[in-house]
Structure 1
Amino acid sequence: MVTLSSSPLPPLPIVDGVAPSYLWLPVGDWPNLLTFLEQRFPAIDSATWIARMERGEVVDGKGARLKPDSPYRRGSCIFYYRELEAETPIPFEETILYQDDRILVADKPHFLPVIPTGRFLHETLLVRLKKKTGLANLTPIHRLDRETAGVVIFSHDIASRGAYQSLFQQRVVDKVYEALAPTLPDLARRLPLVYRSRMVDGTPFFRMQEVAGEPNSETRIELIEQRAETSLYRLRPLTGRKHQLRVHLAALGIPIVNDAFYPDAHPCKGDDFSTPLKLLARAIGFQDPLSGRQHYFESGRAL
C-alpha cells in the first residue's frame, strides 16, 4: 500500500471522468515542443499532437494553448489529455462503502487499476468513481495493486487531503488483508508470527526482491482457517513496501494463489480474468484526524 502525493492544479477540466495528465519538461535541447513530444511519446504521431493542440487540449500551467512551434522551456509544466483507441472493459463493479464531506471509501474488485496507467484509462477505479459521483477533486490517498481487491480511501477535499495522507505516512492506520495460499503444516504450527526482511527493487523492473541487511518491511501473519491444500491467512502489514505481502508469503514457501509475479514471474495474462490473485484488502481502521471519529471500513468481498 503506497501513500500518494499531491499533483499540480490542472488548468483543463475533467472530461468524462478523466482529468488531464501533466508533465514537467526535463532538461534537454529541442527546437520546439512538438519535436519533444514526438520523441517522448513515439507511439503517438505528430498529426495526433497537432490535432490535440488545435483543439486546445495541450496547455501550459496557466491554461495558455500550446502550438507545435511553441518553444521548449525546461522546468515548465504542460497539461494534456491521454487518449486510448481501444480499452477492454473490466467486467467487475466497485462499491462505495462510505462518503462524507472529505473522504470516500470504495471496495475495489480484482483486475481494476486504482488510477489511469498504461493501457487503462476509463477502466480504472478513479475514473469510474468520478463519473458516478461528479467529484472533480477525487484522489486516492493510498493505492492497491491492480491484482488486489478491497478497501481504498479517497480524498475529495483539497484542504484536508494532507491530514489524511499523513495517517499513512505516520503508520497509524490499521490495515488488515486476507490471502489464500498453500497449507504448510510446519509453518501453521508456528503461526501467528511476524516476518521481517529488507526489500529492494528487483528484476524484472516490476518485481521486488529480498536482500541481506536491516529489515525495512514487516508483516504479522495469522492463520484463519485451513481448507485442505490451501489456507486462509490474515495479514497485518506494519510497513507499506511495494508487493510486500506477496514477497513475504512467497519467501515463507506459501505464495499467494494465482500470483503471477512471485516466486517466479509468469507471462502477462492480458485480459484473462479467470484467475484473480487471491489477495484482499479486508479492512482499514483509523481515527479521523479532523473529527476524531473512529473509522472502520470492511470489504464485502470474499476469497
Structure 2
Amino acid sequence: MSPTAANPPDIGPRLLYRDALLLVIDKPAGLPVHPGPKGGETLTDHLDALRFGLPRRPEVVHRLDRDTSGCLALGRHAKALARLNRLFATKEAEKVYWALVEGGPAADKGSIDLALARRSDDPRSWWMKADPEGDPALTHWRVLGRSPDATWLELRPVTGRTHQLRVHCAAMGFPIRGDAIYGSGSRVGGPGLQLHARKLTLPLYPKKPPVVAEAPVPGHMRAGLAECGLAEGTA
C-alpha cells in the first residue's frame, strides 16, 4: 500500500543493516526519496528518526523510483557518503532487482545493451527513451520463474541510468507489470509497479567481507511472483 498523510510509513522497523558508516533500509513502494515539484511526503521527512545518536541525519547514496520498493543505502556522515559514492561511481556496488514482467523473453538469460536519453529537453522531466545517441546503459537479466502470461526476472543493472530497468524491459517487449509510464499499468487501482530492489552488496571495508542486505518480498508483488514459482514462506 502506498503511504499517505493519514497512514505514514514507519521507517525504523524497515532497517535492514546498520553500522558506523552505513544504513540500508527497505524503502516502501509509493514513497518518493526526494522532494518533487508537487510536494508531499518523502523519505527525507523520516531521516531524522534514523540518526541513532549522530548529530546529523543520514543521506541517501543512490536513487530508487517512488514506486520501486527495496534496498536503499544511506551514508551516516560526510566521510561515509564519500566512500559509498565511490563504490557506486566505480560500479563496485552490486544491485539485484526482482521484477514481474508482462509476457517475457524466450531465453532464460541475457543482457540488454541500449543507450538511454531523456524524452524531453525539459529539465523537470525524468521520462527516458532508448536512444543510440544517449548514455550507455547495460542490464543483465535471468529468468527465475514463469506463469502463462508473466515472467519473474532477476535484473542486474551494470550502469545506473534513470528508469534504466523500466525502459530496458519495455524496449525488449516485456514491460514491467504495473508501469504507468513505460507499460500499460495504472497508478490508480492497479497492483503497483512490480519492481523490487531485492539485494544490495557493498564492498565497503577492504579487509572484511562485503556488506550484503536483502529486502523481503513486498506484499504487492507476492501473489504475482507466487504464480511464477516463488516458494511459499520466502522472506
Output the TM-score relative to the length of structure 1. 0.63
Q: Which residue of 2 aligns with 1:47?
A: none
Select which of 73, 97, 112 maps to 2:16.
Answer: 97
Structure 1 residue 196 corresponds to structure 2 residue 116: no
Aligned length: 209
CA drift at 1:282: 0.5
CA–CA separation in structure 1 for the residues paired with 2:50 and 2:61: 19
CA–CA separation in structure 1 for the residues paired with 2:29 and 2:67: 5
CA drift at 1:300: 1.1
Amino acid at match of 1:112: L
Structure 1 residue 278 corresponds to structure 2 residue 194: yes
CA–CA separation in structure 1 for the residues paired with 2:127 and 2:144: 28
CA–CA separation in structure 2 for the residues paired with 1:182 and 1:110: 19
Q: Is the 8 A contact 2:47 2:57 kept in 1?
A: no
- Aligned-residue sequence identity (percent) comes to 29
Q: Is the 8 A contact 1:137 1:158 kept in 2?
A: no
CA drift at 1:225: 0.4
Q: Which residue of 2 aligns with 1:113?
A: 32
Q: Is the 8 A contact 2:69 2:195 kept in 1?
A: yes
What are the Cα deviations for residues 243-285 of structure 1, in whole angstroms up to 9, with x where unaligned?
Answer: 0000010011111111011047x88x4xx47531000000010
Q: Which residue of 2 aligns with 1:243?
A: 163
Q: Which residue of 2 aligns with 1:171?
A: 91
Q: Is the 8 A contact 2:117 2:134 kept in 1?
A: no
Select which of 42, 46, 69 maps to 1:124.
Answer: 42
CA drift at 1:173: 0.9
Q: Is the 8 A contact 2:169 2:176 kept in 1?
A: yes
Q: Is the 8 A contact 1:90 1:112 kept in 2?
A: no
Q: Which residue of 2 aligns with 1:230?
A: 150
CA drift at 1:234: 0.5
SS in 1 for 2:83: helix
What are the Cα deviations for residues 119-173 of structure 1, in whole angstroms up to 9, with x where unaligned?
Answer: 445x322321323546523100111010100000001122232011100000011
Q: Is the 8 A contact 1:174 1:286 kept in 2?
A: yes
Amino acid at match of 2:197: A
Amino acid at match of 1:194: S
Q: Is the 8 A contact 1:93 1:108 kept in 2?
A: no
> Residue 253 and residue 89 in structure 1: after superposition, are their counterparts in 2 closer, same or farther (change >3 A)?
farther
Q: Which residue of 2 aligns with 1:287?
A: 203
CA–CA separation in structure 2 for the residues paired with 1:194 and 1:295: 26
Amino acid at match of 1:117: G
Q: Is the 8 A contact 2:96 2:154 kept in 1?
A: yes
Amino acid at match of 1:114: V
Q: How does 1:14-29 map to 2 (within 5 A)?
A: none
How much is the aligned-residue C-alpha RMSD, in angstroms? 2.4
Higher relative contact order (CA 8 A, sep 6+): 2
Q: Is the 8 A contact 1:195 1:220 kept in 2?
A: yes
Output the TM-score relative to the length of structure 2. 0.79
Select which of 58, 82, 86 maps to 1:162.
Answer: 82
CA drift at 1:92: 4.5
CA–CA separation in structure 2 for the residues paired with 1:299 and 1:115: 20
